């Protein structure tokens, strides 16, 4: 399997994108099932940092996960807890 990673900074935002050439999945169904705390956790962490997470997946083709975060993000998560 091939995985591609892109990093860029534009307008005081860091964009990270990971794309694979795997089998893909139904993103909406995964969130509705509620059994994927990994996806929900990633989305929640991005939001806590003032950013956003986008997941695009095409069955039998590929998946692309993009996180956009402010470079000067102040996290509400205490790393010492």
Q: According to the model, what pLDDT value does residue 46 have?
A: 94
Comparison of pLDDT for 7 and 81, the residue scoring more: 7
Q: According to the model, what pLDDT value does residue 60 have?
A: 85
Gap between the Cα atoms of 46 and 56, Å rounded: 16
Query: pLDDT tens across 34-72, in order?
Result: 666 788 889 999 999 999 999 999 988 899 999 999 987
Global pTM?
Answer: 0.75
Architecture of domain 3-70: 2-Layer Sandwich (3.30)
**Percent of residues in the chain assigned helix, strand, coil, to nearest 5:** 25, 40, 35
Q: What is the residue whose two structure tokens read 């997946």? A: 57
| Domain range summary for the chain, segments of one domain joined by + | 3-70
- Does residue 7 register a pLDDT over 60? yes
Q: According to the model, what pLDDT value does residue 35 have?
A: 65
């Amino acid at each position: 399997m091939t995985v591609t990673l892109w990093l860029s900074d534009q307008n005081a935002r860091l964009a990270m994108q990971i794309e694979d050439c795997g089998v893909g999945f139904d993103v909406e169904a995964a969130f509705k099932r509620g059994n994927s705390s990994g996806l929900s956790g990633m989305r929640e962490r991005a939001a806590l940092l003032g950013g956003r997470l986008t997941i695009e997946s095409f069955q039998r083709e590929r998946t692309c996960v993009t996180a956009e975060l402010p470079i000067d993000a102040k996290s509400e998560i205490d790393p010492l807890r």
